[in-house]
Structure 1
Amino acid sequence: MNLYSTDEIIDALYKAWSSQSSSKWSKDNPANGQCGVTSLVVHDLLGGKINKTSLPSGWHFYNVVNGTRIDFTSSQFSEEIFYMDVPSNREEAFQDTNKDQYRYLKERVLNYLNV
């Protein structure tokens, strides 16, 4: 059983996302560029798997928890995503971010979740 609901996590992510968690972040599109780092933090919180799908801009990472696809960063795209559900892992998702961005986002999310 997970300690946090997806609503609690998405709320914490929206508060935590910033230019310190992705250089592509903007006030108008806070989820932009956050997929790799977000999939890692969500994996820490909820477990499950990290999957990816190919988009024109490159690989897009998201989570699968208890058999359910959860894409916390889909709001960055204006078009509908065709999910290929290609199995991925933490190492691949980490190639989309760096240690500082990951550490920052994880600390901020945990703070907003009152951990």
Structure 2
Amino acid sequence: MTPWNLLVLDEGLRASWAADTCSPDDLARAGWQPGNPAWGHCDITALVVNDIFGGDLMVGEVHLDGEQHGFHWWNRLPSGVELDLTREQFQQGQTVTAARVVERPPGPLRRWDEYLLLRERVVKHLGHLPEPAV
């Protein structure tokens, strides 16, 4: 097995994001586009990163022009470093506030099929991943 680095993980995720793994809420609201591949992928990306590194799942509120527009997910690694591989999706001046740690949801998730599809695509780029934490 070839050692990974964060660049290889990032490249594997970017190559795996697509309209069929985008959150249906985000797909309907703004539409996924190849020019903004991270759009609508924060939740399942954070779960894949959590599968690999463990640590905490973080969630915050997304605001634009004073109105809340959903939530954003990212990771806090066991070292305490926060890692957000999808933050770039916010290209219209959105802000993320009220960050908090959340427990990983047990069992199949609301977006289980998309999560598994994303994992499958990332495995094609990186090779074996740790088993999902269910």
1:74 is matched with which residue?
87
Q: Is the 8 A contact 2:72 2:96 kept in 1?
A: no
Specify which of 64, 69, 77 is matched with residue 76 of structure 2: 64
- CA shift at 1:31, angstroms? 0.5
CA shift in 2, pair 1:27/1:62, >3 Å:
same
SS in 2 for 1:85: strand
**In terms of Rg, which structure is larger?**
2
Q: Deviations over 1:13-58 (max 9, x none)?
A: 1000011211433112110010111111110011111011111211
Q: CA offsets, 1:61-101, max 9 Å, x none?
A: 10011201111100100236445430112229x44xx1110
In 1, Cα distance between the equivalents of 2:9 and 2:97? Answer: 22
Aligned Cα RMSD in Å?
1.9
* Identity among equivalent pairs (%): 28
Instruction: Please give the secondary structure, in 2, of the residue aligned with 1:87.
Output: strand
Which gives a bigger RCO, structure 1 or 2 (Cα 8 Å, sep 6+)? 1
Shift of the 83–11 alpha-carbon distance from structure 1 to 2, 3 Å rule, reads: farther
Q: Helix, strand or coil: the match of 1:91? A: coil
Counterpart CA distance in 1 for 2:82 and 2:51 is 16
Relative to the length of structure 2, the TM-score reads 0.73
Secondary structure class of the residue paired with 1:57: strand
Residue 101 (structure 2) aligned to one of 64, 87, 93: 87
Aligned residues: 110
Residue range with higher mean Cα deviation, 5-14 or 17-26: 17-26
Structure number with the higher strand fraction is 2
Gaps of 5+ in 1: none
Question: In the alignment, does 2:46 pair up with 1:39?
Answer: yes
Q: Find the aligned partners of 2:96 and 2:18 in 1 and give their Cα distance.
A: 26
State the partner residue of 2:131. Answer: none
